[in-house]
Structure 1
Amino acid sequence: MSNDPAETFRQEARELLEQLEQGLLDLEHNPADDDLVNAVFRALHTIKGSGAMFGFTDVASFVHEFETAFDKVRKGLSPITPELIAVALDAKDHVHALIEAPDSADGAGEPILAALRGIVEGDSFPDAPMIDPAPAAGVPLEPTGRWRIRFRLPADALVHGTNPMLLLGEIADLGPCEVTALVDAVPGLEVIDPESCLIGWQVDLTHADPVAALDDVFLFLKDGMELSIEPLAIAAMTEPELPPAAEAILDILAEEVEALAVVADVPAPKAAKPSKEAREATAAKSETASTSMRVPAERLDELMDKVGELVIAQARLSQLAALSADGNLKTVAEELERLSSGLRDTTMGIRMVPIGTIFSRFRRLVHDLSRELDKEIEFITTGEETELDKTMIERLADPLVHLIRNSVDHGLESAEQRIKAGKSAKGTVRISAVYAGAEVAISVTDDGAGLNAARIRAKAEEQGLITPETRIADQDLYYMIFAPGFSTAKEVTSLSGRGVGMDVVKRTIDGLRGKIELTTRPGEGTTFTLRLPLTLAIVEGMLIRVGNGRYSIPLSAVEECVELPASVATHSRGRNFLDIRGSLVPFLRLRDLFSTPGEPDAHQKVVIISSGEGRAGLVVDQIIGNNQTVIKQLSHLHAGIETFSGATILGDGAVALILDTSRLVSYGQAYEEKFRNENGRAAA
């Protein structure tokens, strides 16, 4: 197989551009952080070098100009302002366009560079070099035009691809120089580590002031290397004798540096044998260099499909083994079940991605909306480490963008309105993710004005969704914002007014077998909570029987199983509650819900399930046992059946429907609410 080098560059560039964007957004809040400035500069430098290497000359040329302008910021010659960050983000977007669709980005780069140059050249500050020259004893402080540079690279520099010859070549380009190898730390050949960088270098360079230029040469190595720069007095240089070992090493180096004159420094004393700890540390670094690899997402999808088929085949084998008296077959079936279970868990773990990978994108969105709407906004994220199936992550981006836009545009008031309401001028948008049983709950919260029930009702009546005589609770009224074409915006803008946002959110979440919860308090803010299953592929399930039908319940949603008390077993309506250790839990009779014919079993069971903070009981005829459930989507003809989230194939080839626990819990909560209302009216 041959990989496309251009596509390899694009993949790496996307990661670097993401780092660049996050670094720029962090700089806006921490402009004095030199580490952030250097991180941004390193990302630019890498994109420029890689772009030139892979033939993206337009990218390399633009980033070079971008880097040159930003270098003034790095050297302290220009302040970091919101205007600078905004233009730098535009430049980052242009680099992305040049990489992904070069033809669509023609002519857009020069205005951005002109704006960037105008900002960085507007103010000037005293130069603050990143490397301070330290004068040697007895050497005058005034530059003489001659400098002595000494450096030693990190021990693992060669392993990570650094070529000292290229660095020396860059220094030689700065002016006339003499290069001396420092071989005092080179051990004997019997203990030498060929992967460690053991040689240091001394360069006597003729240059007016090489500090800034050397800063660029050692841009990626400064954190782990030894480096000193001293002004050098004009004096005769003595050339000491070379020991044989050092002479042999320098002969090899001479073939590499060619035009560079290599002169030895001092005799090399015999170095001590590296300690066991040092050797182990070096080995550990070499091992960690290859602990991860890039795999196309399509291969993971294919692997997941194969694992799903394996799980179905294993279930079939287990069922055949259970019917057989062959002990060897039972042993093989049990071993295969153990292996397939482990393979399933490993594959699922590979597919799980921290949700923080999409949270980071929204920082830029909030930054741009803040500038466009002239609203000061604080964006807070929590729960970034919460993991979700990668297919869920990919499809969640658009719904979350719509929700954040809605919170910023409709939810947050202007600074003047907030101050009048007794709030701070800065609004807050918070996005969080937490595990909730078999689900992940993702919430988008703002501290704005909340939903206006009167405006929503007026718009609903205008669109014919309800009549003026319709009596409807406010909570039900709020959910009308998810109706297609619904919008309370007074005018159409680039952000809102066309009613094509919230209905998209609902359709997408429904397609992911999730649900949306909405809570709002007038004057205090609104929270949208998306409840989603952890995965769309394979789950551990509990197989149950109701009549002649078999169904699967996701095991992670099951809390416990109890016997249905005889006192309530004969009732089909009315008191649908169980006392579970002092807590009333509503229960549903699946026979009634599914209109199952025939008489129920004599000893029915109740499966207590949970979703979020709600619980409900499901009355079933029999609990068959646990099984690995490969989720298959229902057809479009059956997609509207809310009770089921999918189907699975059992070991005997039969199909079992997978119960949607969140919907069933909602049914149970409706029963509970109806029961309380009836009791309240009876008491009155």
Structure 2
Amino acid sequence: MMDQFQETFREEAYENLALLESALLELEDEPENLELVGAIFRALHTIKGSGAMFGFERIAAFTHDIETAFDLVRGGRMRVSAELIDLTLKARDRIRSLLEEEPTGTLDPETRQLVEGFRRLLPGDDQRGGPVAEAPPEHCTEPVAYRIRFAPHPGLFLSGTNPVLLLKELEELGKLTVTANTDQVGLLDEIDPELCATSWDMVLVTDRGMEAIEDVFLFVDDQSEVRIQPIETEPDGAAKRLGDILVERGDVDQNQLEALLGERKMVGEILMESGLVSRQKVESALAEQQQVKEIARDHSQRESQGSLRVPSERLDHLVNLVGEQVTVQARLAQLALSLKIPALSAISEEVARLTGELRESSLKIRMLRIGSTFSNFKRLVRDLSRELGKEIELVTSGEETELDKTVLEKLNDPLVHLIRNSMDHGIEAPERREAQGKPRCGRLLLAAAHSGDSVHITITDDGAGLDTAAILAKAQEKGLVGQNAQLSEKEIYSLIFHPGFSTAKAVTNISGRGVGMDVVKRHIEDLRGTIDIRSERGQGTTITVRIPLTLAIIESLLVRVAREHYLFPLGAVHECMFLTSETVANAHGRQVVSLRDKIVPYIRLRDRFAPAERRPSLEQLVITEIDGEKVGFVVDHVVGHHQSVIKSLGPAYRKVEGVSGATILGDGTVALILDPSKLYQAEQLQEKAA
């Protein structure tokens, strides 16, 4: 069971390390921001405390020294410096590595070197790196007594938490008196050793302040009752009566105590007996008071509701089941349509509605904000700009845009390649930028936005832009194009996606080997996405990546060619129109059509998938947009909208150009999902070869 708890700790530690890195990068720009310092300290404290609790001794020991430094910063005894930020970022990376190593043992030389680095930064006597409890914050000069009640949830032990360690940590803060409440333990034969039936009342005298006490319970306060109250002394210094202390603790009600002691009656009774108010008014006031309490309790319960951690494989299984449900619903709808039974049609419509809601809900569960990925790139830009000797500012927007978890994970590597290329090849060195009248600091914009059923991610730099002449010359040198070839800008830009293509004059550890952009394109296409480049010499480059929201279920347009059905992703379809024999004749043998005074080329799917079949006299044209240009696809008949559950193709069909997947229709037959961009590219290659 401990392995399960350790895995849970690892997952939470990864989240805390991500928050730690983000806060450190912000602190580098705002070194006086104490809120960021507090967030960093809490993240470190959680990792240290949880690490010790779950057996990660090396992480706990290492993190203690980092926590010491930031506690001194929080208390005003130490300033935020560039060296502190650099060391902490390196320590964050080392903690991440330690999570995958043996949890126990001695610290390795690399980790010990980082510890020594932190201790050298500490002022004066604190360089020994001892417990921080001996260095109180500036605002706590006099010891204060606190009343603490710690009542764990019965299931505390099941999470691997040892409450004794928390009491020992409290003991480091000052003078601690502990009383264990065992009245709920029960008889020996009734005890469940896996449940915690003990609570603790404590009095702590410390000069560390309430925040230090709260930090001790930081990682158990969601599963325990923790009450911390400063103990107020009487004005004349006299000790409080035992009854008053019990009332303040909440162990006895004030009214019950007064009734028992016979000092005075309840306020309501006194008011009624004096004739100041009627019984009905008292009852009304009590009812109002009860309602307020219930509202406050409900509000508190809503606020306390947190997120539920679910293994990703369970979500994948849920989406697969929903996909099967969509297929079954389509079969039911087709059966109801063919039988024409009103009762069955009503049930089919209800099932369709419920299936649609279930589909939307299950897909939303898998959605994650792209901001979590964007925040990872801040560290990349910071470190890489130093390595390149450049000054580069990363600006992000659209962090709230959501993408399917699977898509987001597969998108990370392509975005890293694109950002590295923009920084290395695009943005110039500071001196060169100044000579061109640009700011020394280059600007890299990373933005995301929804567009229909897809997400557009743009990477824009204000650098030198792409050199079309150099790209064309390199392509001619490699034999990719002829020496006298006349290519458009877009065609020249597409050359950089060829394997092994690079215009770099020197190979570095960042770029120049000709690997990267071809990998980017392949990964983007595997996600059924597209990539587009726009550039202006001397002004910068914008790369736009279009990615579908999810890879599981897509909205599509169902069409028929001969006796087979095919599907177009609905996000790529702009409109549909009829293609008459007269329109074909007026084109004089060219496969083009005039659409609102613009010439649109088209491709006959029958020529590709059913060349032997005779085409009908009246066909239909599906207009799509590919790389900013409209392209038509001729089909026999447009059936209509269809929800498609994507099924991957077998090994024999995975390399078929123009087909990205398949789905099962309501009648049980298989329909291929077409990739308009790949179909158009294949057609262009055939024309050039001819």
Instruction: Provide TM-score, normalisation by structure 2.
Output: 0.78
Describe how 1:102-181 pairs up with structure 2 within 5 A: 102=102, 106-121=108-123, 132=139, 147-149=143-145, 174-176=173-175
Q: Does 1:576 align with 2:596?
A: no
Aligned to 1:541: 556
* C-alpha distance in 2 between matches for 1:377 and 1:5: 41
Give per-residue Cα distances to partners, 1:354-384, cap 9 Å, x unaligned. Answer: 2222111111111111222221111011112
Measured after TM superposition, the shift of residue 547 of structure 1 is 2.2
* C-alpha distance in 2 between matches for 1:29 and 1:269: 62
Amino acid at match of 1:528: I
**1:172–1:405: structure 2 CA closer, same or farther, 3 Å change rule?**
closer
Measured after TM superposition, the shift of residue 428 of structure 1 is 0.9
Measured after TM superposition, the shift of residue 202 of structure 1 is 11
Describe how 1:305-324 pairs up with structure 2 within 5 A: 305-324=320-339
Q: Retained in 1: the 8 A contact 2:174–2:207?
A: no
Aligned to 2:276: none
**1:305–1:269: structure 2 CA closer, same or farther, 3 Å change rule?**
farther
Amino acid at match of 1:8: T
Aligned to 1:49: 49
Q: Retained in 1: the 8 A contact 2:148–2:203?
A: no
Measured after TM superposition, the shift of residue 611 of structure 1 is 6.0
Q: Retained in 2: the 8 A contact 1:540–1:628?
A: yes
Q: Does 1:217 align with 2:217?
A: no
* C-alpha distance in 1 between matches for 2:247 and 2:229: 22
Amino acid at match of 2:507: V
**1:170–1:349: structure 2 CA closer, same or farther, 3 Å change rule?**
closer
* C-alpha distance in 1 between matches for 2:674 and 2:178: 75
Measured after TM superposition, the shift of residue 282 of structure 1 is 2.2
Aligned to 1:679: none
Amino acid at match of 2:544: T
Aligned to 1:183: none
Amino acid at match of 2:638: I
Secondary structure, in 3 states, of the residue corresponding to 2:378? Answer: helix
Secondary structure, in 3 states, of the residue corresponding to 1:218? Answer: helix
* C-alpha distance in 2 between matches for 1:613 and 1:234: 79
Secondary structure, in 3 states, of the residue corresponding to 2:444? Answer: strand
Aligned to 1:33: 33
**1:13–1:173: structure 2 CA closer, same or farther, 3 Å change rule?**
closer
Describe how 1:44-83 pairs up with structure 2 within 5 A: 44-83=44-83
Aligned to 2:243: 242
Aligned to 2:361: 346
Give per-residue Cα distances to partners, 1:78-134, cap 9 Å, x unaligned. Answer: 32233321111000111111112348983211111222333444999xx9976735x
* C-alpha distance in 1 between matches for 2:210 and 2:429: 49
Aligned to 2:192: none
**1:540–1:457: structure 2 CA closer, same or farther, 3 Å change rule?**
closer
The equivalent position to 2:395 in structure 1, one of 362, 380, 389, is 380
Q: Retained in 1: the 8 A contact 2:148–2:202?
A: no
Describe how 1:458-477 pairs up with structure 2 within 5 A: 458-466=473-481, 468-477=483-492
* C-alpha distance in 2 between matches for 1:233 and 1:330: 78
Q: Retained in 1: the 8 A contact 2:532–2:627?
A: no
Q: Retained in 2: the 8 A contact 1:578–1:587?
A: no
Secondary structure, in 3 states, of the residue corresponding to 1:100? Answer: coil
* C-alpha distance in 2 between matches for 1:506 and 1:637: 22
Aligned to 1:432: 447
Aligned to 1:412: 427
Q: Retained in 2: the 8 A contact 1:415–1:425?
A: yes
Q: Does 1:601 align with 2:616?
A: yes
* C-alpha distance in 2 between matches for 1:122 and 1:421: 49
Secondary structure, in 3 states, of the residue corresponding to 1:22? Answer: helix
Secondary structure, in 3 states, of the residue corresponding to 2:457? Answer: strand
Amino acid at match of 2:398: G
Describe how 1:320-399 pairs up with structure 2 within 5 A: 320-399=335-414
**1:496–1:177: structure 2 CA closer, same or farther, 3 Å change rule?**
closer
Measured after TM superposition, the shift of residue 174 of structure 1 is 4.8
Secondary structure, in 3 states, of the residue corresponding to 1:629? Answer: strand
**1:645–1:37: structure 2 CA closer, same or farther, 3 Å change rule?**
same
Measured after TM superposition, the shift of residue 242 of structure 1 is 2.0
Secondary structure, in 3 states, of the residue corresponding to 1:648? Answer: strand
Q: Retained in 1: the 8 A contact 2:332–2:666?
A: yes
Measured after TM superposition, the shift of residue 622 of structure 1 is 1.8
Secondary structure, in 3 states, of the residue corresponding to 1:31? Answer: coil
Secondary structure, in 3 states, of the residue corresponding to 2:532? Answer: strand
**1:314–1:2: structure 2 CA closer, same or farther, 3 Å change rule?**
farther
Give per-residue Cα distances to partners, 1:52-85, cap 9 Å, x unaligned. Answer: 1101011100001111122222222232233321
* C-alpha distance in 1 between matches for 2:24 and 2:654: 44
Aligned to 1:255: none
Aligned to 2:24: 24
The equivalent position to 1:479 in structure 2, one of 479, 489, 494, is 494
Secondary structure, in 3 states, of the residue corresponding to 1:292? Answer: coil
Measured after TM superposition, the shift of residue 599 of structure 1 is 3.9
* C-alpha distance in 1 between matches for 2:463 and 2:64: 43
Q: Retained in 2: the 8 A contact 1:153–1:221?
A: no
Give per-residue Cα distances to partners, 1:32-66, cap 9 Å, x unaligned. Answer: 11111100000000111100110101110000111
Secondary structure, in 3 states, of the residue corresponding to 1:422? Answer: coil
Deviates most, 566-575 or 506-515: 566-575
Measured after TM superposition, the shift of residue 406 of structure 1 is 0.8
Measured after TM superposition, the shift of residue 595 of structure 1 is 5.3
Q: Retained in 1: the 8 A contact 2:176–2:202?
A: no
**1:160–1:67: structure 2 CA closer, same or farther, 3 Å change rule?**
farther
Q: Retained in 2: the 8 A contact 1:488–1:497?
A: yes
Amino acid at match of 2:590: G
Describe how 1:493-512 pairs up with structure 2 within 5 A: 493-512=508-527
Measured after TM superposition, the shift of residue 667 of structure 1 is 9.3
* C-alpha distance in 2 between matches for 1:589 and 1:465: 29
Amino acid at match of 2:238: M
Deviates most, 371-380 or 20-29: 371-380
Measured after TM superposition, the shift of residue 467 of structure 1 is 5.3
C-alpha RMSD of the superposition: 4.4
Higher helix share: 2
Amino acid at match of 1:606: L
Q: Retained in 2: the 8 A contact 1:73–1:120?
A: no
Deviates most, 66-75 or 595-604: 595-604
The equivalent position to 1:651 in structure 2, one of 652, 666, 671, is 666
Deviates most, 636-645 or 89-98: 636-645
Instruction: Provide TM-score, normalisation by structure 1.
Output: 0.78
Q: Retained in 1: the 8 A contact 2:422–2:461?
A: yes
* C-alpha distance in 2 between matches for 1:427 and 1:357: 23
